[in-house]
Amino acid sequence: MPAMSVAEIEQFLARVFPQALGHGFVIERVDERGSTLVMTTDERHLRPGGTVQGPILMSLADTGAYLAILGHLGPLALAVTSSLEMHFLRKAESGTLVAQTRLVKVGQRLVVAQVDLSRRGEDEPVAISTVTYTLPSRGGA
Amino acid sequence: MPAMSVAEIEQFLARVFPQALGHGFVIERVDERGSTLVMTTDERHLRPGGTVQGPILMSLADTGAYLAILGHLGPLALAVTSSLEMHFLRKAESGTLVAQTRLVKVGQRLVVAQVDLSRRGEDEPVAISTVTYTLPSRGGA
Amino acid sequence: MPAMSVAEIEQFLARVFPQALGHGFVIERVDERGSTLVMTTDERHLRPGGTVQGPILMSLADTGAYLAILGHLGPLALAVTSSLEMHFLRKAESGTLVAQTRLVKVGQRLVVAQVDLSRRGEDEPVAISTVTYTLPSRGGA
Amino acid sequence: MPAMSVAEIEQFLARVFPQALGHGFVIERVDERGSTLVMTTDERHLRPGGTVQGPILMSLADTGAYLAILGHLGPLALAVTSSLEMHFLRKAESGTLVAQTRLVKVGQRLVVAQVDLSRRGEDEPVAISTVTYTLPSRGGA
């Protein structure tokens, strides 16, 4: 069972971090092992050549990882991204992008998540990302 | 001598990639070795706890690296980010953020740039980034 | 069908890159989508606290990715690692380590591979890696 | 003043982590802000095409960062690498390689270091790396 349901996460974000879902991001799934976050691209999101801008993809990965942490650990407003790497693999053309997050480590201090981004219905990812969050101390140093 | 002046880059971006300077980014310097890009943060950019959102910082790094490529190689609309890594080191509070880009490799196919982000007037960076761009073929495969 | 069998790869490596399997690495599988490379750790490989040394794990990931490229594209002695990132997730204690490589992009110029490293028989990875190789030009610039 | 001198670090490593200087690595400088570590390459270290093997360079970066931590914080045998990224920029031919480490963050839990690797006497780096270490708890969780 996830620590928070999608509805609880939406309420939590609306209160503490309303920008999190600001690019038209929609939460599709959150459970204790990961999350699925989707967005439908529009003109604002594109770079020359019609590729979705990198920072939008990175925002999707960062938010997807954050949702997975909420799903695993519950409401932690102060979990903070400590690093994010992204590899841009293919032209991300307009359409619906799906960010699948998988938690690969949930430690006392660090969470590491892998995020695959792909267009809805396609197998090959347009980008892959590894995101690390630092957790607030839980009753200690 | 840079391949393009700041004014030429601004005109080029206005034509092919108007979103590039969309968060209030201001080009302060571009030369053949790197660039300086600044932004003044406001409420929209902040996360819970008052930190500037990661994707804004990543956008700053990505754009700073792109400007440095334009300064070194001239107008290449189709240079595409192939990877971006960022380490978030300190709380980036509101104020003026400065992204200093240094080109560490300009190859036939790949450009690698390091970007240091810091608050104006402070020594310690709030984030560091390494950005890789793939270049369009120049008369060949 | 892979471009080269395990036996062909072993012969190729013995000729052009004998150090590749130098830490006791054993090729278990190579096909057009990835590879499996294993090693059994011994005292030489350990750090204080009994963790396998990071560079050994990185060597395993780098070699696993190289094998996957050989399996996909055939004998390319001059494919060169352009970047490698690794996240060390858990103490990698002595035993048999398995590196599973999955090719996520095979382009004209770049190959991107993800490598999961885990102890034989365990689900949770001890480390994850993303490796990028640059390919030699094929009949062009 | 560094927390440990080069001689103290050499004694500490000989006791707790003798492999650290195992590839012929020589400590040239350690202070509270970073370190300089050098190696002279030989045949064992080379890949096809004469490039120094990536894992050797990664070992140099990892060890350089560890030395810098010792110089800043004193003897911490259990500081553990949590991530390492390296970009390979130019062919690292045989000769003397110099790894310059700069600590960019020393926090309660994490240290982030940047390492530039270049051939002695040359300006342009052959590789750049960012290394993150997790610190053991100091009197707490």
pLDDT tens, residue by residue, D95-117: 899 999 999 999 999 999 999 99
Residue C138's pLDDT is 65
| Residues in chain B within 8 Å Cβ distance of D105 | 87, 89-90, 124
Among C39-53, C78-92, D49-63, whose mean pLDDT is lowest? C39-53
pLDDT tens, residue by residue, D120-129: 999 899 999 9
Q: Is B52 exposed, middle or buried (0-12, 13-18, 19+ CB in 10 A)?
A: buried
More confident residue, B57 or B45: B57
CB half-sphere exposure, D65, CA atoms < 13 A:
34
Of residues D20, D12, A108, the one with CA closest to residue C54: D20
Gap between the Cα atoms of C112 and C130, Å rounded: 7
Q: Do D48 and C19 touch (CB under 8 A)?
A: no
Q: Domain D6-134's class?
A: alpha beta
- State residue D129's pLDDT score: 98
Q: Global pTM? A: 0.94
pLDDT for the residue numbered C48: 64
Any idea how long chain C is? 141
Give the model's pLDDT for residue C140. 39
| Cβ atoms of residues C100 and C129 within 8 Å | no
**Do the Cβ atoms of B92 and B124 come closer than 8 Å?**
no
Contact at CB, A104 and C114, closer than 8 angstroms: no
Mean pLDDT, chain B, whole residue set: 90
C-chain residues within 8 Å CB-CB of B108?
A: 141
Residues D83, C83: C-beta atoms closer than 8 Å? no
Residue scoring higher pLDDT (A133 or B43): A133
**Helix, strand, or coil (residue C49):** coil
Q: Which helix (H) or strand (E) holds C90?
A: none
C-alpha D59/C-alpha A4 separation (Å) is: 42
Distance from CA of C127 to the nearest CA of B (A): 18
In the predicted model, is pLDDT for residue D141 greater than 50?
no
Quote the pLDDT of residue B141. 34
Report chain C's mean pLDDT, rounded to a whole number. 90
Is the pLDDT at D82 greater than 90? The verdict is yes
Stronger pLDDT, B81 or B51, i.e. the higher one: B81
Give residue B54's pLDDT: 85
Chains with ≥3 CB–CB distances under 8 Å to D: A, B, C
CA distance D129 to D84: 7
Structure tokens at B82: 């192939």
Of the pLDDT bands very low, low, confident and very high (cuts 50, 70, 90), residue B48 is: low
Q: What is the Cα–Cα distance from B118 to B108, expressed in whole angstroms?
A: 31
Q: Where are the domains of chain B?
A: 6-134
Q: What is the pLDDT of residue B138?
A: 65
Contact B30, B70 (CB under 8 A): yes
pLDDT tens, position by position, for chain A (141 residues)? 899 999 999 999 999 888 788 788 999 999 999 999 999 988 777 766 677 888 889 999 999 999 999 999 999 888 989 999 999 999 888 889 999 999 999 999 999 999 999 999 998 999 999 999 999 876 443
Greatest distance between any 2 Cα atoms in chain A: 50
Phi and psi (nearest 5°) for A35? -155, 160
The secondary structure of residue A32, as a DSSP letter, is T
